[in-house]
């Protein structure tokens, strides 16, 4: 997986989210955990936020222990990147959200991997 654009795994707390993600950011994120503190992050959930990534992540506090994120310059780039990660994870690991990412409602763009 090309995950070089993702941050390292960060504990999912309000303070740490505020430290790294400005308000009103566009981006994608993975939620998961690192067993035994061995540094290997296990992703369980993938999603995207087109308006306020900081606030969206806070809604998941308590349900997952860690997150990784990637800020994106545009909503369309965020969708394309989310699709690539989604297809990689669907083929290679277990993630909770099995439904394909939805394109942003106002943009007529399709998944670069499968054309959906
Ligand atoms: Zn696709």
Distance (Å) from CA 100 to ligand 1 centroid: 6
Query: How many angstroms separate the alpha carbon of residue 15 from the centre of ligand 1?
Result: 34
pLDDT per residue over 31-54, tens digit each?
999 887 666 899 999 999 999 999
Residue 2 in this model has a pLDDT that exceeds 60: no
What was the pLDDT predicted at 37?
64
Model confidence, pTM: 0.91
Which are the contacts of 35, defined by CB distance < 8 A and separation ≥ 6? 42
Domains of the chain: 10-92 (3.40.1440.10)
Work out the pLDDT band at 103, boundaries 50, 70, 90: very high
100-103 long-range contacts (CB < 8 A, ≥24 apart) are: 101/46, 101/48, 103/79
Q: Residue 5 has what pLDDT? A: 85
Short-list 10, 2, 17, 7, CA closest to 89: 2
Residue 83 is given by DSSP the state H
Cβ neighbors of 15 (< 8 A, separation 6 or more) are none
97 Cα to the center of ligand 1, angstroms: 14
Q: What is the DSSP letter of 73?
A: S
Q: How far apart are the CA of 115 and the centre of ligand 1, in A?
A: 6
Confidence of residue 3 (pLDDT cuts 50, 70, 90): low
């Amino acid at each position: 997986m090309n995950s070089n654009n993702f941050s390292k795994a960060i504990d999912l707390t309000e303070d740490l989210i505020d430290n790294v993600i400005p308000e009103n950011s566009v981006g994608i994120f993975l939620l998961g955990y690192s067993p035994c503190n061995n540094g290997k992050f296990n992703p369980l959930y993938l999603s995207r936020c087109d308006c306020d990534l900081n606030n969206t992540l806070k809604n998941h506090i308590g349900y997952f222990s860690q997150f990784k994120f990637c800020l994106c310059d545009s909503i369309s780039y965020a969708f394309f990147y989310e699709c690539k990660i989604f297809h990689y994870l669907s083929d290679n690991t277990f993630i909770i959200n099995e439904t394909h990412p939805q394109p942003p409602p106002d943009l007529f763009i399709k998944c670069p991997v499968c054309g959906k």
